[in-house]
């Protein structure tokens, strides 16, 4: 007996089996700008893997089957083990295999830009597993300040062989690391940390301490080691805290519970206590904040890259849907007002990619003072602005899918997962206000041996002076404000937004088509700045913007 009551029509086919590299013109153009003439074959094959049904399924399963904490075995012994779905390990293995963690530190020029592109592409799965990958990438240079630890761990941090076993570093093929700063009484203000470090002895890994205290947020607790902050008699200091000690015993890190979060489900974020855990000092006694911030600047880069990747994924899904779904006698992508929305989303996504990749380029060229200064400026700018725009873009891209966009369907609703992930990149690694205030500090420090960030910004924008009167006027107003001391603390967010917009416009001039640059200047630099999406002024090349952003495979 037939139970059919109707035929299912006008439901788009999902976006699957596409190449997330080949179909991303904005990313390809950014890479051609930063690494002209570089071989694209590795990126293209990685892009095919990341668009595959198999990887999409892993991302879904890793998020639907959340990590489970086992604090004790059935006999009552503490185990502090986190159990993951096999898809979690498949995803983490693929990221490590692609060298998205510590590997670039073992490679030559261009490695950080290549890695940034890979990270941005991987995020498009919204796998929620990249937190330990990012932390491992970021920790590697900071670890150099404990030479014996670095000597024993570096090869494993850079290894492309994923090894999730709980074992001492010597017997592992590869390792990952996490970090612990945030405590209950303060996250942004880490000076409030109360975890105590008591000196034990000097041994093969340097000054060894015993840590007592807690961390309120401690992601990826199954990592092999962590950089943590704790108080010595000299003040807040940075420590290397391995999970397995040189004698093979497990360190005294008790996982209290896993956080019950809005999104980021595949990543185990925990609360931990240190009950006399052994740790080795990294860097100078009492200089822990500066030491761990070396790591923080790189995880902030990843917040911008990851958000740019999620934005690209959201725009691809919106375009895939709107180019198939019909309403009122036309495909949605042909409806004039929807064209405005899609073109505006595409423009924002491209600008986010350009800014995040520019920052990655600066990380790659740290032997150049100008690039060091640009990195100092663009780290808080990209982290603040790209992440702020990410949530707004995800909401609008979701709306392009209508009701379907809001549906989770056991993880098949990737758009819903993207939407839940977006705010996280804005909060962790320094929330929006902290980033804006950090930028203000960088721009207020004029002259001196370490260079002048305002002059560097001026030189960056000088490359495109005269290209567009709106950009020239915008930049003039910005520099007038900067020459006057960068303004009041209450204006710090406005300053971060304006630096971001000026740099984004300049980058679009350098590696996007004229129609993108023109649309960006007219919609973001004139009048009141960025508005609700879908308010591009008339005369903009809507069709060209949409075509440029169309993911491969969408019709
Ligand atoms: C899922 C998840 C995983 C995490 N994983 C880790 C981890 O592995 N390791 C780790 O160390 N931390 C981790 N964190 C913590 C995260 O880094 C902090 O939550 C974040 O830095 C903010 O700190 P807080 O929560 O203490 O908020 P607070 O510091 O209390 O800040 C609250 C708000 O006040 C604002 N604010 C603070 N100071 C000022 C000021 N002077 N002026 C204006 N505004 C201000 C902030 O911008 C923020 O909006 C994680 C967080 C989440 C959500």
360/325 Cα distance (integer angstroms): 37
Give the model's confidence band at 3: pLDDT under 50 very low, under 70 low, under 90 confident, else very high. Answer: low
Please say if the pLDDT value at position 165 is more than 80.
Answer: yes
Sign, Cα dihedral of 500, 502, 504, 510: negative
Output the pLDDT for position 555: 39
Output the pLDDT for position 226: 98
Output the pLDDT for position 2: 53
Q: For the segment 91-107, what is each residue's pLDDT rounded down to a tens digit?
A: 999 999 999 999 999 99
Q: For the segment 116-128, what is each residue's pLDDT rounded down to a tens digit?
A: 999 999 999 999 9
- Average the pLDDT over 82-89 and give the result: 98
479/474 Cα distance (integer angstroms): 9
- Average the pLDDT over 450-461 and give the result: 94
Q: How deeply is 82 buried, as exposed, middle or buried, from its count of CB atoms within 10 A (0-12, 13-18, 19+)?
A: middle
Tell which one of 139, 142, 182 to mutate to probe ligand 1, the residue whose CB is within 8 A of the most ligand atoms: 182
Q: How far is the CA of 181 from the centre of ligand 1 (A)?
A: 10
* Domains present along the chain, CATH in parentheses: 25-140+147-158 (no CATH), 169-288 (2.40.110.20), 291-549 (1.20.140.10)
Please say if the pLDDT value at position 553 is more than 70.
Answer: no
Output the pLDDT for position 529: 72
Question: In the chain, what percentage of residues exceed pLDDT 70?
Answer: 99
The overall average pLDDT reported for the chain is 96
Residue closest by Cα to atom 38 of ligand 1: 188
254/241 Cα distance (integer angstroms): 13
How do strand 206-219 and strand 225-232 relate by DSSP bridges? unpaired
Residue closest by Cα to atom 33 of ligand 1: 431
- Average the pLDDT over 289-295 and give the result: 92
Q: For the segment 13-23, what is each residue's pLDDT rounded down to a tens digit?
A: 999 999 999 99
Tell which one of 188, 222, 388, 495 to mutate to probe ligand 1, the residue whose CB is within 8 A of the most ligand atoms: 188
- CB burial of 370-397 (b: ≥16 within 10 Å; e: otherwise) equals ebbbbbbbbbbbbbbbbbbbbbbbbebb
Residue 180 alpha carbon, nearest atom of ligand 1:
11
Residue closest by Cα to atom 25 of ligand 1: 187
Residue 186 alpha carbon, nearest atom of ligand 1:
26
Q: How far is the CA of 258 from the centre of ligand 1 (A)?
A: 17
Tell which one of 181, 306, 434 to mutate to probe ligand 1, the residue whose CB is within 8 A of the most ligand atoms: 434
Residue 219 alpha carbon, nearest atom of ligand 1:
8
- CB burial of 438-468 (b: ≥16 within 10 Å; e: otherwise) equals bbbebbeeeeeeeeebbebbbebbeebeebb
Output the pLDDT for position 418: 98
Within 6 A (CB) of ligand 1 lie 178-182, 186-189, 217-219, 261, 264, 269, 424, 427-434
Give the model's confidence band at 528: pLDDT under 50 very low, under 70 low, under 90 confident, else very high. Answer: confident
Q: For the segment 457-488, what is each residue's pLDDT rounded down to a tens digit?
A: 999 999 999 999 999 999 999 999 998 888 89
Residue closest by Cα to atom 27 of ligand 1: 187
Q: For the segment 187-214, what is each residue's pLDDT rounded down to a tens digit?
A: 999 999 999 999 999 999 999 999 999 9
Please say if the pLDDT value at position 365 is more than 50.
Answer: yes
**Planar angle of CA 81, 84, 89, nearest 5 degrees:** 120
Residue 259 alpha carbon, nearest atom of ligand 1:
1
Q: How far is the CA of 271 from the centre of ligand 1 (A)?
A: 14
Output the pLDDT for position 554: 45
What's the DSSP call for residue 107?
Answer: S
230/489 Cα distance (integer angstroms): 29
Q: How far is the CA of 434 from the centre of ligand 1 (A)?
A: 9
Beta carbons within 8 Å of 197's beta carbon, 6+ residues apart: 209, 210, 211, 230, 231, 232, 237, 239, 279, 281
Q: And the tokens for 151?
A: 């000597």
Q: For the segment 327-339, what is each residue's pLDDT rounded down to a tens digit?
A: 999 999 999 999 9
State pTM to two decimals.
0.98
Please say if the pLDDT value at position 1 is more than 90.
Answer: no
Question: In the chain, what percentage of residues exceed pLDDT 90?
Answer: 94
Q: And the tokens for 98?
A: 């692609």
């Amino acid at each position: 007996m037939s139970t059919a009551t109707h035929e299912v029509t006008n439901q788009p086919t999902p976006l699957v089996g596409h190449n997330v590299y080949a179909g991303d013109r904005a990313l390809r153009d950014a890479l051609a700008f930063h690494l002209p003439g570089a071989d694209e074959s590795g990126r293209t094959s990685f892009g095919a893997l990341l668009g595959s049904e198999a990887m999409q399924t892993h991302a879904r399963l890793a998020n639907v089957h959340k990590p489970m904490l086992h604090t004790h075995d059935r006999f009552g012994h503490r185990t502090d083990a986190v159990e993951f779905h096999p898809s979690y390990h498949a995803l983490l293995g693929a990221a490590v295999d692609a060298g998205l963690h510590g590997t670039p530190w073992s490679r030559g020029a261009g490695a950080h830009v290549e890695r940034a592109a890979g990270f941005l592409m991987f995020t498009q799965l919204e796998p929620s597993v990249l937190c330990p990958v990012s932390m491992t990438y970021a920790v590697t240079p900071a670890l150099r300040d404990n030479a014996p630890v670095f000597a024993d761990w570096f090869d494993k941090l850079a290894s492309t062989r994923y090894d999730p076993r709980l074992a001492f570093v010597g017997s592992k093929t590869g390792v990952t690391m996490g970090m612990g700063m945030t405590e209950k009484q303060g996250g942004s203000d880490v000076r409030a940390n109360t975890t105590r470090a008591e000196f034990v002895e000097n041994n093969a890994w340097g000054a060894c301490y015993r840590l007592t205290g807690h961390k309120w947020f401690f992601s990826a607790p199954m990592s092999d080691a962590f950089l943590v902050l704790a108080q010595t008699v000299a003040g807040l200091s940075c420590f290397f805290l391995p999970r397995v000690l040189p004698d093979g015993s497990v360190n005294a890190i008790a996982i209290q519970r896993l956080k019950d979060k809005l999104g980021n489900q595949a990543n185990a974020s925990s609360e931990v206590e240190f009950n006399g855990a052994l740790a080795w000092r990294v860097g100078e006694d009492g200089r822990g904040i500066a030491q761990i911030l070396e790591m923080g600047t790189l995880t902030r880069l990843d917040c911008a890259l990851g958000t740019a990747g999620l934005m690209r994924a959201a725009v691809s899904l919106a375009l895939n849907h709107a180019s198939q779904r019909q309403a009122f006698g036309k495909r949605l992508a042909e409806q004039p007002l929807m064209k405005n929305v899609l073109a505006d989303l595409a423009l924002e996504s491209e600008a986010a990619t350009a800014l995040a990749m520019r920052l990655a380029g600066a990380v790659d060229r740290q032997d150049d003072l100008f690039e060091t200064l640009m990195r100092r400026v663009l780290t808080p700018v990209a982290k603040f602005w790209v992440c702020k725009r990410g949530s707004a873009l995800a909401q609008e891209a979701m709306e392009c899918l209508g009701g379907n966009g809001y549906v989770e369907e056991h993880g098949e609703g990737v758009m819903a997962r993207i939407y839940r992930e977006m705010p996280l990149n804005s909060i962790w690694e320094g929330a929006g206000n902290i980033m804006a205030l950090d930028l203000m500090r960088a721009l207020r420090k004029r002259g001196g041996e370490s260079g002048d960030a305002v002059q560097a910004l001026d030189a960056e924008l000088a490359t495109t002076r005269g290209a567009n009167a709106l950009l020239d006027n915008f930049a003039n107003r910005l520099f007038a404000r900067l020459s006057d001391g960068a303004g009041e603390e209450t204006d710090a967010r406005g300053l971060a937004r304006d630096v971001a917009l000026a740099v984004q416009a300049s980058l679009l001039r350098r590696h996007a088509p004229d129609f993108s640059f023109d649309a960006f200047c007219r919609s973001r630099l004139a009048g009141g700045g960025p508005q609700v999406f879908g308010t591009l002024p008339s005369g903009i090349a809507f069709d060209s913007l949409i075509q440029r952003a169309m993911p491969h495979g969408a019709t």
